[in-house]
Amino acid sequence: MTTKGARTQTRNKEETQRRISEAAAAEFSHLGYSGATLDRISERAGCSKALVIRYFGTKQDLYRTVLNTKYAELSQRETFHALSEAETVSELLRGILSDLFAFNREHPAFARLVSWENLNGAEHLDPATAKAARGPGWARLRSILEDAQEKGMVRGDVDVGRIVYVLQALTVVYFSNRHTMKILTGIPFESPETMSSFVGFYSQLLARGIATDEGKCA
């Protein structure tokens, strides 16, 4: 096979894998692990079931790949470069939540995937690979918040790990509950304006609980 032919074959393989991964994310997010099938995933992807198995292995292997890929994409999104210059804790939290909300808005399958996995007691999640995928983002968050503690902006008696958890939890709950809550409250949760207002509200609310006097008004 020529070099050009090998490159074309590689591109075709990568494109097929991308289609399978996207089809699987859509299928698993709508039907959960139990409801999704490799037959429907292959049909969505426009390829054979045998090719899905060849590239990704079993249904569980594919599911773990999809979930870990989303975790890794979120971690890659969490660069938070501008946050080192935040002058208040509210500003710092707003920057973090803005990135988290933006990712979930751009990847609507993510909150549904996480919700399904929690409903199933994390039965199909592989701890080692999931931690490897999600770890870098969490490490950056912890580092930013610990730096704010060292600067005297965030109270020293606050557990940074719990702040990280609350930020993630608020975001996932917003996106996983927005459809039912829109019906119940009439609030247009899918609109960018509403998302921005909730990011601001969450930031101010959390800042009141964790900021020092200096962090509130620096």
Q: Tens digits of per-residue pLDDT, 56-111?
A: 999 999 999 999 999 999 988 876 656 767 889 999 999 999 999 999 999 989 99
Tokens of 30: 């709508």
User: What is the reported pLDDT for 82?
Assistant: 60
Q: Higher confidence at residue 2 or residue 65?
A: 65
User: What is the reported pLDDT for 78?
Assistant: 74
Cβ count within 10 A of residue 52: 23
* pLDDT tens string 132-188: 999 998 898 888 899 999 999 999 999 999 999 999 999 999 999 999 999 999 999
**Phi/psi at 116 (nearest 5 deg)?**
-60, -45
Tokens of 76: 């890659």
d(C-alpha 66, C-alpha 72), whole Å? 10
Going along the chain from its start, the domains and CATH numbers come out as: 3-57 (1.10.10.60), 67-217 (1.10.357.10)
User: What is the reported pLDDT for 192?
Assistant: 94
User: What is the reported pLDDT for 6?
Assistant: 47
User: What is the reported pLDDT for 10?
Assistant: 60
**Phi/psi at 150 (nearest 5 deg)?**
-65, -30
CA atoms lying within 13 Å on the CB side of residue 34: 7
* pLDDT tens string 18-61: 999 999 999 999 999 999 999 999 999 999 999 999 999 999 99
* pLDDT tens string 196-216: 999 999 999 999 999 998 777
